[in-house]
Amino acid sequence: MQRVTAHDESRWQELGGGQRRQVRSYDEHLMLVEVNFDDGAVGALHSHPHTQISYVLSGSFSYEIEGTTYELNPGDSIVVEGGRTHGCACKSAGTLLDIFTPAREDFLSH
């Protein structure tokens, strides 16, 4: 469990393809992850059992959920229910804040 995370405490994990993430605060029920994208980076379509909210901190994204595309800009957010196929394409470099419930244990094993 990591209830408080100072800005400089977390390390960026390089994901390839112009993407990187930092796991921020979390417990077993909830997790906050900062994901940074370069221009044109693509978060491939995928699904997982965790419900997630993505909040656009900066940049712009085309966000797809089950074949429907949403255009998201700073201040926008979107809910993805667990088990739904989703992904995004970064239209201009930016950062998403992803909130997961329950926490993504697979993100902690790296």
Q: For residue range 54-86, list pLDDT tens digits in order.
A: 999 999 999 999 999 999 999 999 999 999 999
Judge residue 44's burial from the number of C-beta atoms within 10 Å of its C-beta, 0-12 exposed, 13-18 middle, 19 or more buried: exposed
Task: Answer yes or no: is pLDDT of 23 > 70.
Answer: yes
- 31-58: per-residue pLDDT in tens? 999 999 999 999 999 999 999 999 999 9
Cα dist from 44 to 1, 29, 68, whole Å: 28, 25, 15
Task: Answer yes or no: is pLDDT of 1 > 70.
Answer: no
Sorted by where each starts, the structural domains of the chain and their CATH numbers stand as: 13-103 (2.60.120.10)
Distance separating alpha carbons of residues 70 and 43, to the nearest angstrom: 14
- Give pTM, 2 decimals: 0.91
Residues 69 and 4: beta-carbon distance below 8 Å: no
